[in-house]
Every structure is written in structure tokens, then in C-alpha cells.
Structure 1
Amino acid sequence: MESMASAFGRAVTAHREAVSHAEAARARLRAGAGGDGVSAQASEDARRFAAGMQRMAEGLTPGWLGCRLDAAATALPTGVDAAAGRPLAVRLGEASPAAGSVFGVVVPFVGAGHLAVDSDARDPSVARWLRGLLLRVLAALPDGALRVAAVDGATLGAVFGPFRVMVEAEAWRRPAIDLPGFQQVLAEAEERIERVQAGEADPSVLLLCVAAMPAGAGRTEWSRLAAIAHAGPAAGVFLLVAGYPPPQHPGLEAAPRLERTTHLTAAGGGLFRVSDPPGPYRFSDDGTGLAAPMRLDGSPPDDLIEAVCRRLAKAARVQASTDFAALMPVEIWQESSVGGLRTVVGREGRAECVLALDDATPHWLVGGRTGSGKTVFLLDLLYGLASRYSPDELGLYLLDFKEGVSFAEFTPTAVDPSWIPHARTVGIESDREYGLAVLRTLSREMTRRATELKRAGVTKLADLRAGRPDVAMPRLVAVIDEFHVLFEGNDAVARQAVALLEELARKGRSYGIHLVLASQTISGVEALFAKTESIFGQFPLRVALAGGGGVLDQLNDGADNLPIGAAVVNAATGIPGANRVIRFPNAEAASVTAQRHLLWNARPPGDAPPAVFAGYAEQHPDADPTFARLSPDVRRRRALVGRAVDVGLPTAGFTLDATPGSHLAVLGTSPVGADVLYAAAVSLARQHAPGTARFLIAPLVAAADEAADAAVEAITAAGHHCETITSTQYRTHLIDLAQQSEPGGGQATYLVVFGADAASNLLAASDPITYRSGHDDLRAVLANGPGHGVHLLGWWRTLSRFSDDLGPTGGGEVACLVALNLPSSDIGSLLGDYASEWQSRPNRALLIDRNDNRRTLIVPYVRPGTFDQIDDMA
């Protein structure tokens, strides 16, 4: 089959011969030779020339490339008239070399060069012609072979209105209508050229179709167009530009001429001059182009465009569909994170959408209403990253502040022991304080990395790792779902979190620390009012799902009416015109489980599961590895009371030694107080050699009976003397302990009082002979006991009774406090700090160590089943 180039060459040769004959005839006429005979012969030659050119034009433009664009064209098959990767010729209009003779004008286009017309789409004939030409190429090439990036700076996209089905099917991007959008289209073409030049194969064609330059376009954009015209054909990028070159203004430099381009120039009367086309075959010897002016073809009927687009859009939807498994690489852990992180998150039309966490887009904002698929998108992202990069290249910090299990997929469970090896910590239904702890951990790591970089004499992680491949410094990604919860209100937690987030957002990119913040909205967060630009300005990549347009610019409505499973991706901080619409697949449970097991089975030897904080979970003493490892081989004994709300859930407790104030008071009406006291007493018993400690257990309230009995059983099993006493015996033991300077023959003595407030009235009574009250003896034990190995562990249900028992010191003799469901006003009066922002809530307590000036939010220890008996702890 004859190639397009050779067939076009024959047509050009015929044209030049005809021009030569016509010039000879005109010369004879000017010389007065032949008269009417010459004129008649010239007309006949013109007709034969036109007929011959028409036959060759029809041969060059089969089917859609040259047919009449009317209703009859609907019957033509699509995708068969041209081949991807091969040049095609297309009909532009009709030329008339003489009255009564016309032929179709055909020039090489996609695969060979570009087209430009100096009038833009504000000229109705140009707008109609653009639509027809676009339809020809679209229908001629195979399905999926052509991607169109449209620009319409004059009619707000109306030129491309009949093609809206292609936009709705996400086969095309929405037309750019302003300068930022135009710049984004240029950037897309430049990126495509760079990828192909770097060796990436892409068989599709990218056509930049500019109906009119947007306002503000100037020398910079024209130069970029010229560069694309030069380098584009080798990378499958072609131009169809109306309004180029733009009118030249006096004193200003003319726009650069586009290489490898056929130029159409308005000649008046609706006619256009056609320049010599690119390539070896030229219409003229002198550069004048086609000998006859051309009238542009008109527009096909809108229903013809829509019929073709519906056919192609259906195929595009099928080809654009994807599933979770298709996002994953063929082989796991084959990528290096030295220069950044990249993964496929979905499809943009029929092409994969690859997003990056690197120096250009170091942090992301993701927005979407409930049910928009935000969690699914995050799972697609995280599994894609974890499958491409090994744990030596990537570490994950995952936080979820809502009631859900977004990130439970990454942790071991009772049903499935597998986990994602990259996860460092996972927070599920996290407390704000836990989120703050994670930010502090990342800030400390950033400081450590900054020191390493300074020692190496470099300023970026990529430079350090390139020069020191032995340095283990993976990129860290912190994903925080419903992040706005962390900043609610304007309390100390919010203020500290804002400061840390701002630091990480500004500096993190240099040290390989990246943030992905997801929420339904970023507006209305009081703590961020003054920091919107300084923080979110560091998040250039925005992903807006259905109902998540708040992460885009206020003037950007690109996310309005998005379907579930679709998202707008904008790498220009959300400004209008930079939107890309993608589709992402649902994370099917079976596929996710299979991928998790694949990663888990490939984990390095000795890999430990992530530190998991589940905000709803109880903490049982026997489930704490630190509690289970307790032994007498310790230097200082600690009363353990729970797990700190911090990364790794470290065990929380108090050191009980000879330091003044080494006593424990648990405060609050919650029955959890009995369990905390149980855990503290049992933990101390395990830190004494059998028989070297004495425990006096006083269960003074019915709510504590079970916990007290369990404590007696556990302490006795540990080999210690354990005596259960009544309130009267409690009073008697206080007298003895207050009078003994070295009680128990040097044994440590622990007085454990469950419901100490129940004995307050008894202690208030004075002895009629000595005039000493029980309060006097209690205060003596508190003041002098630690120096003699005597420690009080008590649970007071009310702060007033605790204050009455301890007297005017205001409880200062007890340095170790666990506040359960006390209001912040009580905490303020107890500590003399009326700015306290403590808010009591179920399954939480405030640990206060006055010796160490330490306040820590903890999950208090409870025995299994305790919360099943509690209706309201708050």
C-alpha cells in the first residue's frame, strides 16, 4: 500500500506542474499570443488539474479524513482510517483555481506536523472549521489513540461544546479557559515530551487544540508553544492552534514562527492562503504555498459530533476502568525513594495517573465529604507506595481521628495477624494528644536528620543518600485523616499542633518528610485562621473528591458534581485551570488482603508490627508487655497505672522511693479507680522478692470489692504478706505506722485503700486521751512514710474528701495523682492552675507527677469487663 508521504509527494508534484502550466499560459496571454484559445485552454487545464487534485485528495484522505461531514457519515466505521504512530493527511477545505473547478485541500497533520491559522475562534468560520477538523482526526484514529488538551480563551469552551461527552467520559480534560489553565496544558505537553525523551514509551497522540489564546498570554507562552512545535512530533505531541501568530503590535517583538507547521493566513472574503507544509514536499518553489486560496470546510452537525463521541466515550469508559490490582506494580519493592515517591493512584482518561511526593509536590491536601471514597483513595495511595518501595525506602505514620477503621488494614488483628511492614505507628479513632505526639516524633526525627545533613555538608535528603548509600534514611509519609479534629478549639494541644505542623510543612521536604492531610473541609478551624497561607501554601497538590472542593481555590468549582470514585487533582495549590479529573478504583477486600499478605510475607527478618493506638481500646495490665516483664531485679520501683497516649503506648507510672510525696492518689467517682489501684499494687508486688513487702488492703466501698479481692489474690501469689483490713483496722494501722520509725523490720509497707473517702469521718474523730485524730496520723504517715519504706495508695471518689483528709497542705504530701472523671475546675483548684484545659472523658485519665512536674494523658488500666459495668464515666 502506498505511503501517505509518497502519495502526498505525487499530489504536490502535480500541483507544481499545474502551476507551471498556468504561469506559462498567463505569460502567453501577457505577450498577446493565442488570445481566446489560450484562455480556453487554461480554463480546461485548470479543470483537469482540479479534477486530478481532487482524486489524489480523496486517495490521501480515506473515510473520516476527507468525507463530507453530514448525516451520512454516521454510518462510517471509526478508528480504521489512520494508524497510531503513522502520519496522516487531512482535508482542510476547498480551493478553486478557476471558475467552475474546485478541489479538496489536503495537508499532512498528526504524525507529520502541526496546523496554525491566524484567525481565532471568534471568527465563526474558524470555530466551525476547528470542530470539523477535530472530528475528522478523532474518528479516524483508533480508539484511545488520541488525547486532546483543549484551550478556549475566547468563548469559555463553547467551541468544544459538542464534544462534551468526551469530557464527561473523562477521555478529555475540561477545556482550559484562562491563562493558568493554558499554562497547565503547556506543562502537560512539556512533561510528555520529557518522559518520551527519557525513554518512556507512549503510543498515544497528544493534540493541543487552541481555539483562542486566553487573555494575558504573551511572549513566554508563545515561546513554549514554539518549543513544543520543535520537539513535539518526535514525542507524539502535535498542535492545532487558532489565532497564531497573534497580531504584532508596534515596538514589540513578533511571536516566534512555529516549526513543522502548515500556516493558514486570512486572505479576505472568507478565504485563506495555505503555506507550504512541513516535510520534503512543498507546494511552491518560492515559499508562497498553495497557488489557490482556500475556503475552510464548515462545521459538521452537532448531532453527528455527539453520535461519534458517544460511540468513542463508551469505549473510553471501558478502557479507563481499572481495579485495585491494576494499580500495583508487577514486582514489589523495585523503586528507590532517593528522588521522591511516586505511585499510580488511578486513571486520567485511558492513561495512568501518577502522583508524586517530592520536592515539587512535597505535601498533599485531600478533601471529600463522607461517602465520597476518601478512605478508598488513601488506601489506593498507601498500598501503591508500600508496594513500590521497601521498608528501607519508606516509613508510614497513619492517623485517623474519626470513628472508623480507615487504617486497621495496616495492623495485625485477632482475625488476621499480618501487617504492612512500612507502618511505624497507626492511630485509629485517635486522641488529639496522640496526634500531637506523632507530630512531635516527626519533628524530633527531622531535627536528627538535619544534624546528619549538616555533618555531610548537604542540604537535602536526596543529596545525602546519593552520596551515602549506606545511610538508612527512608522517606517518611504521615497521613492524617480528618486532620481538622487535631486543631479544634484554641487550646494548648491545638496551638502546639499548629506550630509543629507549620514546621514540618516548611522544612519537611528537605529531610524526606511528607504530609498528606485529609478532611471534609479545611475551613472554620479556629487554630488555623492566621496560618492558612503559611501552612497550606506548602501543600501544592490538592485532591478534591465529591464534596471536597474546599481544598481548591475559592474560584475553582471543578469538584462540583463529581461522581463517587472520581477526583480532581490539582498540582497548582488549587487554582482554576489546573484541574485533572481522574478515576480511582474501589479497594476490594480480597485484593487488599492479598496485597497485604504479599508485603507481609516479604518483610525483613525481625520486623516488628507497628505501634497501634486504638482510641476505643481498653488497656489491661496483663496485656502490657512491660507489666508482664516486671521482676524484683529493678533499681527503683514504679507503681504502674496505665499506658501513655503517646507513640508506642509507653507504660505510665510513678516511682515510689524515699522521695517526699511518694504516695499515689486516684481521684474520681469512676469505678475505674479501683482497677487503677489494683494495677498499681500488683505491679509493686512483682517488683519485690517474695516475702520482702507487706500489703495492707482496705476495701472500704462495695464498688471496689472485686478489684480488692483480685489484688489480694495476686499479691499473695507473689509470695508477700497481704492482710485485708476494715476501716477500723485502717485507723489502727495508721496509728502504728505513724509511730514506727522503721516499720515491718525494714520491710516495705504498702497501705492500699479502696474508697479512702469512706473513712474520712472516722479519721476526723480525735482520740479523747491524746487528742490526735486519724487525719493527724494519716498526715504523719504521708510526711514521713517514704523515708521509712511506707507508701499509701488510695482511691478517693471526691476531691473534697481528699482535701479534707490531707489538710491545709492541699494534698502536697501526695505527689502522684491520677485524675479520672474530675472536672477541670477541680484540677485547677488542686494544682493551683486555673488555666488547666483538662477535659475528662471515658477511658482516659490525667497522670500528674508533682515531683517531676509532669502531666500525661493516659489510658488507665482496667480489668477485663470493667467498662461493661459502667453506664457513664464522664
Structure 2
Amino acid sequence: MAGRVSRHFDAATDAYRSARAQVAAVRSLLQDQDSERGVTAAGHEVAVRGLVAELKATAALITPGWLGVDVRKLTTPLPELGAHTPGEGPLPLHVGICWVTDDDWFPVVLPLLGEGGGHLTIDAGLRTRAAASLVRAVLTRLLGAVPQQFLDVRLVDGATAGGAFTGFRPLIASGGLAPPVIDTAGLAGVLDEAEEHVQHAQAMAAAGRLEEVPFLVLCGQLPDCRGEYARIQALAHAGPASRLHLVLAGWPAEESRPVLDHAYTVAVDGQYARIADPAGRPAVIRPRRGMQVRVSLDDDPNPEAVGELCRLLSADAKAAATFTFADLTGDTLWAGSSARGLSTVVGREKHTEVELSFDDVTPHWMIAGRSGSGKTVFLLDVLYGLTARYSPTELALYLLDFKEGVSFTEFTPTPIDPSWIPHARAVGVESDREYGIAVLQELVAEMGRRSVAMKRLGVTTLPALRAADPRTPWPRVVAVVDEFHVLLSGPSRQAAVAVALLEDLARKGRSYGIHLVLASQTISGVDALLGKKDAIFGQFPLRVALAGATGVLDPGNTAAGDLTVGQAVINDAAGAIGRDRIVRFPDSHASPTAVAELRQKLWSMRADGNRPPHVFSGFAEQHITTALPDVPTGGPRRRLLVGRAVDVTSSLAGPLLDATPGRHLAVVGASPVGADVLHAATTALAHQHPPGSVRFLLAPLVGPSEDPAAELAAALDQAGHTTKRLTIADLPRALADLAAETARDTYLVLFGTDAASTQLGTRDPDTRRTPLDDLRTVLAAGPARGVHVLGWWRGAKRLAEDLGGSAGRDLIACLLALNIGADGLASLTGDVMGDWQPRPNRGLLLDRHDHTSQLIVPFVRPGRHEQEGAW
């Protein structure tokens, strides 16, 4: 059936071409007849009109629907969309009217798309009405006639900066048509794409599958492209056989501009035009002696019809591009090998699935989009696609979220769902910069471990390492940093450290299978990147721009300007103009059942020993009760536990106590959390001592400490420890006893020490000593006798005075700063360069003996966050 239709179609086309030639020939011959042959003017007109009628009938036969409809008068309902797929022969398109006389005319139909088709060049540019109208008419016919899955159009407008295609903007906005490129950089990208298309088509033709390749049409007016003539000539020559066609305005027949193979040329002359056949092809329109062929080119299509066409095509494009969450994961879980890279489908461009990779070519990705653009959804789509394709031995994930959200909590166990994604190693939710730095340091350390292994085995690539050491899992690592600008914000030492780590990973990571994804609303204006932006971002060739993205694409690349939620621009040339693909991606939040099913499947497939990821929840309280099972008892050195470190593993934080002078703890800050920290630290110490082996002296000196001290005393008594509560009046006597050399194995816990400043400063008339002198003696000599002080001072100034100023700083080696500023902390440490900034649910732990500082989440009693003003 298809063969018969093709033969009839070819026959009709041949008849049309022959009839057109005959009109010209007969008209010329009839004009040359002399009266001796008896040919009259009336007979001449009859012959011409008969041939014109035949041409009209043939044209109507071979250009049904959108191929031949008068687009200027087109109204709704529109002709059937996508009814014409080029087969063995070319697809003919109506381009104008040929006037034989003032009253007699026939359609001008040119074979364009398909085998045997060609190109169309117009000597006038898009600023000329006739040329612009013809280009828009041809574009309208193509969009209406050819099914969307068989047609890709690339608009180029070097004359009006896209203005010539304003009527098609709704289709561009929906992603059904790529935005026009307007400069030489954009043209270079389009030509790259065209060359790739030709190569792909040639390969498909060799495999007997050319019919699967869509037609690529470059339509519009090229910008200044003298340096690209050779490429354009080559494309024109190879185009028709490779399903590539050009419709170009502003291509005059000049010596400086090459003649394109297979191109019908249109010369605009006032209100008419002349059309010539491609060089070397049998003539369709050939001016004869004494004959002027007048052609009226197609006028602009009806704007309302174009609008309706764009609306229908946009709806079809959206439906065709609809991509569900199930389409991301494939049919077989964990079937991929990451030896040479990772890849996953992220969405669909029209009818084609778009797959992105982490490999040597695109080792790192950068993603940007305004709030609400779907950035988090896109990230989750990528992560679920990867975790479905690769097992935990092939892929490891480190996930950081620096905004107030829960982007990655579904990868971690929760009270509602104890399962987790087995690939996740560390997950930070509402992360601190310090946590982000700790994760980056862990990745740099992993890079070092892989480097050592490669050197040991004499290999230089990750695939070679995996082959040489098959027993050791060397998965590729993907680290995602959402709102990464927070990590780099501010001219602080931390920001400088983060920049250095990022630069190291960005430059070297690809060699060791470590890949970064940086996501943010914008990548502009990060102070810490001064002088480093190109060095770091230059390592991120793959750019993803969502709606409202700024800075992720080249400054002149406006491809993301018309995106809607659920769309993204994919650019694999660091944002360069002309390398954009617009894809539509699924909303995983709209498929909670499918997501939950995948999560459970992945979790059930995990290997024995697969541990849940380390999770850092920046907003979560930390309680000593969860830490006690991990605290050893009976050792030679006891450890003060004051919180959990803001590091990859949320390790327990607290200094060791030994006989060194100054091994005490001072908690500083007006926050009542100071009392909670002493409660936790003392609880941990009691857990490490056998009952009755030490004394605990508890001195609740301020109101906020009454409840913590009472709870602590009750717990110590119940555990069998020796406990005594002190009042402010008892404190001088207790300090004098502890200062005596006979005192042994005692913990003095002072809740709100500054409240006793009057009593501590009162001098004994007989000994001329003050309780403050005794306190300093205890601080200096007590540790050697097992006597340690745990104190909470609500102000840094009071603590500094109690220690005797700068000379007494070493009396307490361990400091925990709560809500005191950098200046107050500097008065205790002498470090005026610190960039500590107090904030809720955080403390800075310093050990002057070890010269260390560590951001921690302090231990608090449950519900402390709910107490107004606790911080």
C-alpha cells in the first residue's frame, strides 16, 4: 500500500514539474508562431489556460492541508496537524503564485523536506517584508504539516534579534520550539548541532534506520558568518540525504557568498520575485527569451491562526514531553557499572529522552533556579535515577542542604519510616558551613586514599584501579551541595577554607571518580570566590538552568528566560550560547507512592552491614541520653561530654580530664543552656565512675539552674554516687576545703558562678585570702588530685576577672562559648582573629592545651528549643 501511494505521489510530482515547464515552453512557442501556421491569439490563450488549470489541479493534489493552504486566510478550525510524513520522495511546499497573465496563475510548489528535496535561500533579509513573510509562511507550513516527533527547527535571527519570530513565542515558551539564536556564538552552536545531526543521520542510514531520524531545519537569517562559509557549504551539500534542510533569508547571490548545493534561490524584485532551480538540477522555472516570470511570494500567515497553531502544538509538546517518575528509574535496578562514569535520564526533550552523565567530559554539574522553580525536584530526580541504576558498591552519595528545608531527609531514616537509601554516606539538613567543610575535607581525604592506592598498584585511572583491585569497592562519589553559596558567603576564614577545598575537588576529582553538583538560586556575587570563580566554575561544563536562574549560563544566553516550572535548560558547554536543550522533567513529589515503593525496594536490596547514613540535622536538639551507650566506663581518663561535633559523623564532643593543671570546663554565655550543658557533662562523668568512687558538689547559684541541678542530684543519688548541694553561703567553705592538699576525687559543678562574685571576692580578715584565691588554687592544683571544676559563667568579662585577667587564662583550658560574641571570646583566649558567630543550638568548644576549636551542638534537656528565649 505504501509503495503504491509513493509511486502515485512521485508521478503527480513529476507531472506537476513537467506541466510547469510546458507552460513556459508553450507560451514561448506560441508567441513565436507566425500567422502562416494559423495560430491565433485566442488559441494561444486557450492553450495556456488549459495548462494552468492542469497545474492548479496537480498542485492541489500534491499539497493537501498545510502543504498548500493559503496561510494568509487560514482560520480555525485548523487543518489536521502532523498529517504529512516525508517518505521516499520529497515533501512539496507551496511558496507563492506564478502569474502567467494578469488573470492566469498557478501555485509555485518546491520540494523541500526529504530525499530529493533541497534548501531555500532568499537574497533579501528578514528586515524585508517579502522575505520575512515567506520565512514565516514556510515555518508555519512545516510546523502544521510534519508530526512533531519528526521535526526539529532551529531558529536563527541575526537581523532582528528574534523579532521576526515573535508570533511563535508561545511555542518557544512552552519548549516546543527552541529560542532563536542571534549572534555568531549562538550560530556556532547551531552549526555544531547540525554537524552532529548529519553524522548521526549518516550512521543511521548505514544501519538502514534513517526513517527514525527527525528532520532538522535551520530557519531564519544567519548573523555575520564569513568564517563559517565552509561549514555551511558542507552542511548544504550533505543536508538532503541526512534530513537537514536550510531556509535562509539574507543570502544574496554574490561572489563573496557561496552558492549552496541543492538550494532553490529566490530573488526579490519589488512586489515580485524570481525563483531559480538548484545548479545542476533539471529546470522547473527557467526564464525563456521574451518571457518575464512573475512570482508573488507567500504572504504572512494569519496571526490568530499562528497563535492557535502554537497553542495546539504547545499542548501536544507538553503531553509528548510528559515524563513520569517511573520513567527515570528504568526496568532493572542496580544493573549499571560506574567504572567509566555514571549516567541517568533526567527528562525529555520533545519526544527524546535526555540522559546526562558524570564522566571525564562532564565531571561536575552546576544547577541554578529561583525559589519555586523545581530545583529540589530536579536534584531528587537525578539522585533517584542514579540510585536505581547503580548499586551502593558503584555509587556513594554525600548530600548537603544549606537552606531551611528538608530536601534530602527522604534519603535518611526517620521516626515515621526507618528505611534509608543505601547509597547515602552522609546527609546534612539545614547544614552549618562547618559541617559542609567537614564533608569536603572527607572527600579530599577519600581522594588521597585513592591516589595512594593508584600509586601502589601502578595505575592512573579509576577504571584501572577497579580492575587491579576488584576486592575493594571503589564507587564513584557524587556530592550534592544545595544552596552552596551559603558555604562560601562572607570574607571569613571558613569561606576561604571552603573555597580551597572546592577548588581542589573540582580540579582533581574527575581523576578519582569524585563528582560535584553545586546548586543555588544564583552563582553570582560570592565574595569568597574573588579571583577563584573561573578556576572553580570552569571545571563545571554541565550547566542546568531552571526558571529564574541567573549566572549559570553565559551573560548573553537568555535561553532560561521563558522557562516554566518543570522545565530546564541543559547546556554542556559551560553555558555557551547555542548549546542549549530544553527538557521537561517529572515532579517526584507528585508520585509519592512510586517514590515510596522505590525507596523500599532499594532498602530491601541493601547488603548485610549496610549502615544508615550519618545525618546532621541543623535544627535538631542533642541529648546526653542518646550518647551514654557509646561512652566507655572504667578507663584511666574521664571525658567531659558537652555535645556533638558538627562533623561528618556527629561525633561526641568533649575534652579529656587528666592531671594537667587547668583541665576544667568553663561554659560562657547568658543562655540557660549553660545549665543544661553542665547537667549533661556531669551525667556523663557519673556514667564513667563506679558509684561512690568520687564526690559531686552541685552549686545551683542562679534561678535557671534550679531544675537542672535538682534533676541531676536526683539522678546521681539514684545511681549511688556521693552528692552534696551547696548554696552561695556554702561556697567559700567548700572552696577552702578543695584548695587543701587533702582533697581528692571531687567534681565541683558551679551553675552561674558569676552570681557569687561578692562572696568570692570577700577577704578573710585572718588569712587575708578570698574564696576567689581558693578557686584559683583549685584550678591550678586540683587536677593532680582528681579535683575538677565545671562552671557556668554568664559573662566573659566576669570569668576573665575571676581568672585574674590574661595571666590566668591557663587556669581553665577548656571553654565552651554559647551566646557570647567574638570580642568576648577574644578576651578569654587572646585570639582577635576568630570569626566565631554565636547562633541558636550551637557552641564553640576550645581546648587551649590541644590548640583546637570545634563547632558543636550542645547537649540540652529535652524540649529546650520550645522554651522561649532559651538561646
> Into which bin does the TM-score normalised by the smaller protein fall?
0.7 to 0.9
Given that 1:127 and 1:159 are in contact with CA atoms closer than 8 Å, whether structure 2 keeps it comes out as: yes
**Residues 557 and 72 of structure 1: CA distance in aligned 2, closer, same or farther (over 3 Å):** closer
Residue deviations 1:189-245, cap 9 Å, x none?
444556674889994623222322212x244464266258537745x5444444569
Which runs of structure 2 are paired with 1:4-153 in the superposition (5 Å)?
Answer: 4=6, 7-8=9-10, 12=14, 36=37, 56-71=58-73, 77-79=79-81, 81-83=83-85, 87-93=89-95, 104-107=108-111, 109-110=113-114, 112-117=116-121, 119=123, 121-122=125-126, 124-153=129-158
Superposed displacement of residue 459, structure 1: 5.1
SS of the residue aligned with 1:640? coil
Equivalent of 1:270 in 247, 269, 273 = 273
**Are residues 1:817 and 2:815 paired?**
yes
| Alignment partners' CA distance in 2, 1:721 and 1:387 | 57
Superposed displacement of residue 848, structure 1: 0.8
Superposed displacement of residue 843, structure 1: 1.4
Alignment correspondent of 1:301: 301
Identity percentage of aligned residues: 44
Query: 2:133 is matched by which residue type in structure 1?
Result: R
**Residues 836 and 19 of structure 1: CA distance in aligned 2, closer, same or farther (over 3 Å):** closer
Alignment correspondent of 1:407: 408
SS of the residue aligned with 1:160? helix
**Are residues 1:166 and 2:157 paired?**
no
Which runs of structure 2 are paired with 1:559-638 in the superposition (5 Å)?
Answer: 559-560=560-561, 562-586=563-587, 587-588=589-590, 589-624=592-627, 627-638=628-639
**Residues 843 and 104 of structure 1: CA distance in aligned 2, closer, same or farther (over 3 Å):** closer
**Are residues 1:795 and 2:796 paired?**
no
Alignment correspondent of 1:383: 384
Query: 2:844 is matched by which residue type in structure 1?
Result: L
Superposed displacement of residue 181, structure 1: 1.9
Given that 1:283 and 1:289 are in contact with CA atoms closer than 8 Å, whether structure 2 keeps it comes out as: no
SS of the residue aligned with 2:713? helix
**Residues 724 and 788 of structure 1: CA distance in aligned 2, closer, same or farther (over 3 Å):** same
Equivalent of 1:857 in 847, 855, 858 = 855
| Alignment partners' CA distance in 2, 1:115 and 1:297 | 16
**Residues 753 and 166 of structure 1: CA distance in aligned 2, closer, same or farther (over 3 Å):** closer
Unpaired segments of 5 or more residues in structure 1? none
Which runs of structure 2 are paired with 1:90-489 in the superposition (5 Å)?
Answer: 90-93=92-95, 104-107=108-111, 109-110=113-114, 112-117=116-121, 119=123, 121-122=125-126, 124-192=129-197, 197=203, 203=212, 205-215=214-224, 217-220=225-228, 222-223=230-231, 226-227=234-235, 230=238, 233-234=241-242, 236-242=243-249, 247-249=254-256, 255=258, 258=261, 261-264=262-265, 266=267, 270-275=273-278, 283=282, 295=295, 297-303=297-303, 304-455=305-456, 460-461=461-462, 464-465=465-466, 472-489=473-490
Query: 1:606 is matched by which residue type in structure 2?
Result: G
Equivalent of 1:840 in 838, 841, 851 = 838
| Alignment partners' CA distance in 1, 2:161 and 2:836 | 55
Superposed displacement of residue 582, structure 1: 3.6
Given that 2:438 and 2:648 are in contact with CA atoms closer than 8 Å, whether structure 1 keeps it comes out as: yes
SS of the residue aligned with 1:335? coil
How many residues of Structure 1 are paired with residues of Structure 2 in the alignment?
Answer: 851
**Residues 472 and 239 of structure 1: CA distance in aligned 2, closer, same or farther (over 3 Å):** farther
Alignment correspondent of 1:524: 525
Query: 2:825 is matched by which residue type in structure 1?
Result: I
Residue deviations 1:149-200, cap 9 Å, x none?
2212223334433333322332111122212222222333444556674889
Which runs of structure 2 are paired with 1:732-811 in the superposition (5 Å)?
Answer: 732-740=733-741, 743-744=743-744, 748-807=745-804, 809-811=807-809
Query: 2:137 is matched by which residue type in structure 1?
Result: G
**Stretch deviating more after TM superposition (641-650 or 434-443):** 434-443
| Alignment partners' CA distance in 2, 1:718 and 1:431 | 37
SS of the residue aligned with 1:502? helix
Query: 1:706 is matched by which residue type in structure 2?
Result: D
Superposed displacement of residue 356, structure 1: 3.6
**Residues 393 and 71 of structure 1: CA distance in aligned 2, closer, same or farther (over 3 Å):** same
Residue deviations 1:767-807, cap 9 Å, x none?
44444433333333322222232222222233344334333
| Alignment partners' CA distance in 2, 1:428 and 1:536 | 24
| Alignment partners' CA distance in 1, 2:124 and 2:666 | 82
Given that 1:483 and 1:517 are in contact with CA atoms closer than 8 Å, whether structure 2 keeps it comes out as: yes
| Alignment partners' CA distance in 1, 2:804 and 2:19 | 118
**Residues 307 and 837 of structure 1: CA distance in aligned 2, closer, same or farther (over 3 Å):** closer
| Alignment partners' CA distance in 1, 2:421 and 2:525 | 35
Given that 2:402 and 2:483 are in contact with CA atoms closer than 8 Å, whether structure 1 keeps it comes out as: yes
* TM-score, length basis structure 2: 0.86
| Alignment partners' CA distance in 2, 1:565 and 1:80 | 26
**Residues 477 and 675 of structure 1: CA distance in aligned 2, closer, same or farther (over 3 Å):** same
> What RMSD, in angstroms, separates the aligned Cα atoms of the two structures?
4.0
| Alignment partners' CA distance in 2, 1:134 and 1:159 | 12
Superposed displacement of residue 634, structure 1: 3.3
**Residues 359 and 231 of structure 1: CA distance in aligned 2, closer, same or farther (over 3 Å):** farther
| Alignment partners' CA distance in 2, 1:56 and 1:231 | 27
**Stretch deviating more after TM superposition (587-596 or 19-28):** 19-28
Superposed displacement of residue 854, structure 1: 0.5
Unpaired segments of 5 or more residues in structure 2? none
* TM-score, length basis structure 1: 0.86
| Alignment partners' CA distance in 1, 2:198 and 2:391 | 30
Residue deviations 1:606-662, cap 9 Å, x none?
2222211111111101123xx322232535321111111111211101111122322
Query: 2:175 is matched by which residue type in structure 1?
Result: E
**Residues 658 and 17 of structure 1: CA distance in aligned 2, closer, same or farther (over 3 Å):** same
SS of the residue aligned with 1:810? helix
Query: 2:282 is matched by which residue type in structure 1?
Result: F
Superposed displacement of residue 830, structure 1: 0.9
Given that 1:332 and 1:388 are in contact with CA atoms closer than 8 Å, whether structure 2 keeps it comes out as: yes
| Alignment partners' CA distance in 2, 1:341 and 1:190 | 26
| Alignment partners' CA distance in 1, 2:801 and 2:308 | 87
Superposed displacement of residue 669, structure 1: 2.3
